[in-house]
Chains A and B, each alone.
Chain A
Amino acid sequence: MNEPILRVTELNKKFGEHHVLKGIDFSVEQGERVAIIGGSGSGKSTFLRCLNFMEMPSSGTVSLDGKEIGKPAGKNGERRYPESELCLVRERVGMVFQQFNLFPHMTVLENAMEGLLTVKGMKKEAARDLAVKELDKVGLADKHDAYPGRLSGGQQQRVAIARSLAMEPEILLFDEPTSSLDPELVGEVLVVIRKLAEEGRTMLLVTHELGFAYHFATKVIFLADGVFHEVGTPAEVLKNPKQERTRAFLNRFTEFAF
């Protein structure tokens, strides 16, 4: 049997006394697209951020290609994560943020080249070629020399996607990539994400766009109370939820239609 590309075992995350993720077990196969839904504050971002170690898990393990990240240290399942190892993980697991987090002092092209130059140590020309290719893909071929501050939110988010793609990550994490966009700009970003889906990329997406999740995902997770309350195909979770809790959550999206 194939090793899943990503596996999470007994994942717990606490912020002080606040137990946000409670022993999550989960794995993602190559090419799977996972949509994560759930109420505000349910821990969707925290879960995603544990996967590329923007947050450090309190206990439990994250494995890439069957290899556990970090080393055991002390009791209670605590682990130690050397910076060098985390940097390698983050090269392989890209992330796109709700607030874009572009580098405002760099042009669009420089943003897309930055990881290649600094992290991968590539030569300028090679980095430029790759960055240009990814900017073409997100439809920003004409904005290379613009600074992020001059772009619309939708354009900025597409730059952020290109910046992440340029690193050629094996897994892409999206944390509500359209939530801070004006409604008329949501579409252009979703189009790009759908294109990535068609390429067969492995992706995890936290979203409130249930319609998009339905068409995008191969698997949907409803996260509540720090556990995966319901996991299944989009049709199972979004159309015929088994759990009362999931149904109640979905009912709150009154205008939700497939």
Chain B
Amino acid sequence: MSYQWDFSGVWSRWDILAVGLLNTIKIAAVSIVLGIVVGLVLAFLKLSPKKYLSAPATAFIEFYRNTPPIIHFFWFYYALPVLANISLDPFVAAVLALSTQSGAFYAEVFRGGIVSIEKGQWEGGRSLGMRHSQLMRRIILPQAMTRMFAPFVERSFELTKTTALASTLAYADLLYQAMRVNSETFRPLEVYTTIALMYVVLLVTASTLSRIAEARLTAYR
């Protein structure tokens, strides 16, 4: 069987895919930023010696880690509106799903980074009269960040790939736009090959940038 590749339909609709790519980048970026906030809050709660703070955080994290990601999308888009009597934009629902999910994973990354810092660092700072918050900000987090960096990037790549699920809520991300192009061209092989390559280019670029950033961050070693 010899298949006649024909990308002309895809090329002529490049603008549709470009919109999708930008939307994918947008939703990933917003979700990563919010996910960091959620993750930091969860990490600090979980690190707390007070059970009533750490237990809910642990429950939240375990819930997210043990459910399929797509359920969170459906829950925020279809279930929450019933419960709260509001209706959410697909973008908002998807961002909520993505940032809470990634927050649960980031929390473990952040917590792991923080607890990996030696006791002596705490004591060095404390012996100068630093408060807990000052120690965190000046001594612990800067060092923990270099250790968190690789797993953080890893999780962010997972998140970026998971944004494709937003297409199920009719958010115009790269996958959703590809389905549109496909329905106009009936060229699934060309369409999905193209967007697969677009994801690859996106993530390889991000990975290169992150490696440059990591080298800067760890320059002191």
- A: residues with CB less than 8 A from B are 52, 54, 83-84, 87-91, 94-95, 97, 99-106, 114-115, 118-119, 147, 149, 160, 163-164, 167
Contact = CB atoms under 8 A, between A and B. Distances in A.
Contacts of A95: 123, 127
B138 interface: yes
A90 B127 CA distance: 6
Interface of B: 120-121, 123-132, 134, 138-139, 142-143, 146, 220-221
A149 B220 contact: yes
B126 A114 contact: no
B interface, over-half SS: helix
A87 B143 contact: no
B129 A114 contact: no
A101 B123 contact: yes
Contacts of A115: 128-130
Nearest to B133: A83
15 contacts: A83-B132, A87-B131, A89-B129, A90-B129, A97-B120, A100-B124, A103-B121, A103-B124, A105-B146, A114-B125, A114-B128, A118-B128, A119-B128, A119-B130, A147-B220
A94 B127 CA distance: 6
Given A100-B124, A164-B127, 8 more contacts: A89-B129, A90-B126, A101-B120, A101-B127, A104-B143, A118-B130, A119-B129, A119-B130
Contact of B127 (A97, A106, A118): A97
A101 B121 contact: yes
Contacts of A97: 120, 123-124, 127
Contacts of A149: 220-221
A185 to B, nearest CB: 19
A101 B128 CA distance: 11
A118 B130 CA distance: 7
B128 A105 contact: no
A89 B126 CA distance: 11
Contacts of A54: 123, 126-127
